[in-house]
Amino acid sequence: MYEGAIQDLIDELGRLPGVGPKSAQRIAFHILSADPTDVKRLAVALQRVKEQVRFCTTCFNVAEAEQCRICRDPRRHDDVLCVVEEPKDVVAVERTGEFRGRYHVLGGAINPLEGIGPDHLKIRELMARLADGSVKELILATDPNTEGEATATYLALLVKPMGLAVTRLASGLPVGGDLEYADEITLGRAFEGRRAI
Amino acid sequence: MYVRRLELVDFRSYPRCVVEFEPGCSVLVGPNGVGKTNLVEALGYVSTLDSHRVATDAPLVRAGATSAVIRSEIVHEHRSLSVELAIEPGKANRARLGGSPVRRARDVLGALRMVLFAPEDLALVRGDPAERRNYLDHLLVARQPRYAGVRADYERVLKQRNALLRTAYLARKTGAGTRDLSTLDVWDVHLASHGAELLAARLELCAALGPHIAKAYDAVAAGRGRAGIAYRSRVPIEPADRESLSAALSAALVESRPSEVERGMTLVGPHRDDLLLTLGELPAKGYASHGESWSMALALRLAAYELLRTEGIEPVLALDDVFAELDAGRRERLAELVGSAGQLLITCAVAEDVPAALRGARYEVSEGEVHRA
Ligand SMILES: Nc1ncnc2c1ncn2[C@@H]1O[C@H](COP(=O)(O)OP(=O)(O)O)[C@@H](O)[C@H]1O
Ligand SMILES: [Mg+2]
Ligand SMILES: [Zn+2]
């Protein structure tokens, strides 16, 4: 334990994702010995990100205005909505160039171990967007892990009475790799989940 | 499949040691406490990335050293593959396969397939149900690696579901009001589907194992009563297809929900099941003598070995401290059962305890050293 300010900084850094106590200490002492103008620039960047970056009031993607770039784009289709966990997932789907509809960012996934239930996610807002019936297909693109699957199931059950098409991304072997390099668990499960063509 | 070479550096009691093996029988002889089990433990570690004796890695590193290395050379279908593991407690293991580093240590799983019987296996009979569930699940993974993923998924869903039940339970207990359990239905869906996949596989495995267990027990036990196994679950396990099991699990979850909410945990599912071991009409646990329990444990391992062998996987078989426990007749019968193994590693304190049919290459083990006799 150090005294005062330096320990405060270590504690704050240690709260960041992926930063353990050792790294936090190293970063803190790096900052302590760094040039004051560099440190000021970092401090300003930290402050600005909170002041200027907001969340789109429609889809909850990151935005620099009331609405994000995608929600403002008149060329996007209004009848398909892709539900993702985080803004970085929007970026990932956009990179595919496959999707021309709109997004809804939940802000996470249902995760009781971390105390996150449906009320902590933008689910009420999603239901409000679906209410007028203009969305015909809902794509559930939450992560293909336990929490993402549970969230997808939850949403699928919730929107079932609305009668719109609900789809889930296919998961399986990574594309671009050779079959022989897939590990046996992944390949084994892909085999089990094979489909007719 | 056989192990051609084993090299240890700072593993357990060995500063450095190299042992060259051949296919067929190898007998490791030496007085108690000299380091025989340490050798098979090292090979077991290569096979499963786990010790059969300890849950943490620290005891595997020689006292005074900071890391241990296990190098092995495995021959399979006339090809030789080197597997190297560096164990440093508190850090992730580093591994090399065929000389090249691999991204995750678990990429070496499957390179050496081994069935090990050791005195600790008595816990299979006398220990908690978890011991027997692990026995089944490890064997499932050895046959079809994808079950490692199925089991991990099931356990993750279970953990989340338990967390949900637990917070609701605590909120109620501390008077902090009721908690939202609306997502419980969702977790039920996933628990039932992953659970059914695991359950179906375990049931199929039990059916395949049954005859092998009876046969092996008959050979190694003093001969009274037939050994049997039966899968025990609170969920109806007939019919045993995945769809029916999923429906049965769902129904069981609905039924037990009030008591689950009351107690704050998941009370049905494959994580609560057990494998009932029987000798004649009686359960082995609580009824069998020490000798019968030990024979039952040995039969479970021998059955696993036989099953893998009939399915075209020829694992290495290691029998640690087995022959001293058997009389002459049973030694002979065991020799008949395992004599044709591709590779059989035997440890014993007295070489004469091992039947002549199994006396292949002999190795003298002394404090920190192994010499071919
Ligand atoms: N980490 C370690 N460092 C040094 N010696 C160890 C370590 N772990 C176990 N040993 C020693 O190894 C011996 C036990 O070896 P073991 O293979 O179980 O004997 P046995 O020949 O009876 O099977 C004991 O003498 C024990 O002190
Ligand atoms: Mg021993
Ligand atoms: Zn938007």
Chain A contacts of B107, Cβ < 8 Å? 183
Which residues of chain A register pLDDT less than 50?
none
Residues B286-306 have pLDDT tens digits of 999 999 999 999 999 999 999
For residues B268 and B104, what is the distance between their CA atoms, to the nearest angstrom?
34
At residue B104, does pLDDT exceed 90? Answer: no
Three-class secondary structure of residue B119 per DSSP: helix
Q: Which residues contact B278 (CB under 8 A, 6 or more apart)?
A: B227, B228, B229, B230, B284
For chain B, what is the mean pLDDT? 94
Give, using CA atoms, the residue closest to atom 12 of ligand 1. Answer: B13
pLDDT classification of B103: cutoffs 50, 70, 90: confident
Per-domain residue ranges of chain B:
1-113+314-373
Q: Rounded to 5 degrees, what angle do the CA atoms B122, B123, B129 make?
A: 140
- How close is the nearest chain A Cα to the Cα of B362, in Å? 37
Instruction: Output the six-digit token pair for A100.
Output: 């021309």
What does the pLDDT average to over B247-251?
97
- Residue A177: the pLDDT is 59
Provide the number of CB pairs (under 8 Å) joining chain A to chain B: 60
CA quadruple B221, B227, B233, B237: dihedral positive or negative?
positive
Residue limits of CATH 1.10.8.420 in chain A: 4-52
Percent of chain B with pLDDT strictly greater than 90? 83
The answer on pLDDT for B208 being more than 90 is yes
Instruction: Work out the pLDDT band at B269, boundaries 50, 70, 90.
Output: very high
Ligand closest in space to the Cα of B34: 1
CA distance A73 to chain B (A): 35
Say what the alpha-carbon torsion angle B298, B300, B302, B308 is, to the nearest 10 degrees. -160
Assigned superfamily of A4-52: RecR Domain 1 (1.10.8.420)
In the sheet that A80-84 helps form, which strands lie side by side, from edge to edge? A102-105, A80-84, A137-140, A165-168
Specify the pLDDT at position B320. 97
Cβ–Cβ below 8 Å for A113 and B160: yes
B313's tokens: 């996987």
User: Is residue B52's pLDDT more than 90?
Assistant: yes
For chain A, which residues lie within 8 Å of any Cβ of chain B, measuring from their own Cβ? 110-113, 115, 117-119, 145-147, 149-150, 153-154, 157, 183-189, 191-192
Residue B54 has pLDDT above 70, yes or no: yes
* Contacts A192 to B, Cβ<8 Å: 146
Are A55 and A62 in contact by the 8 Å Cβ rule? The answer is yes
Q: The complex's ipTM?
A: 0.78
Element (H, E) at A80: strand A80-84
Q: Where in chain A is the domain with CATH 3.40.1360.10?
A: 75-168
- CATH C-level class of B1-113+314-373: alpha beta
pLDDT digits (tens, 9 = 90+) for A88-109: 999 999 998 889 999 999 999 9
Write the DSSP assignment of B169-231 as a string of letters.
Answer: HHHHHTT------TTHHHHHHHHHHHHHHHHHHHHHHHHHHHHHHHHHHHHHS-S-S-EEEEE
Residue A121's pLDDT is what?
Answer: 97
pLDDT at A2: 86
The string over B166-187, giving b where at least 16 C-beta atoms fall within 10 Å of a residue's C-beta and e elsewhere, is: bbbbeeeeeeeeebeeebbebb
- CA distances from residue B8 to A158, B95, B335, B349 in whole angstroms, order as listed: 58, 14, 29, 22
User: Which mutation among B6, B16, B34, B367 tests ligand 1's pocket best, with the greatest number of atoms within 8 A of CB?
Assistant: B34
Q: What is the pLDDT of residue A196?
A: 72
Amino acid at B258: P
pLDDT, position A20: 86
pLDDT grade, residue B173 (50/70/90)? confident
**Is the CB of residue B334 less than 8 Å from the CB of residue B322?**
yes
CA pair distance B1, B112, nearest whole angstrom: 8
pLDDT digits (tens, 9 = 90+) for B15-51: 999 999 999 999 999 999 999 999 999 999 999 999 9
In B98-190, at which residue ranges do the beta strands (DSSP E only) sit? 100-101, 114-117
- Which ranges in chain A belong to alpha helices (H)? 4-14, 21-33, 36-52, 69-72, 87-96, 123-130, 146-159, 184-192
pLDDT (0 to 100) of residue A188: 77
Question: Which chain B residues have a beta carbon less than 8 Å from that of A168?
Answer: none
Which of B144, B160, B185 to mutate: most A Cβ within 10 Å? B160
**pLDDT number for residue B178:** 64
| 3-state DSSP assignment of residue A19 | coil
**Architecture (CATH level 2) of domain A75-168:** 3-Layer(aba) Sandwich (3.40)
Residue A135 is predicted with a pLDDT of 96
Is B110 a residue whose pLDDT tops 90?
no
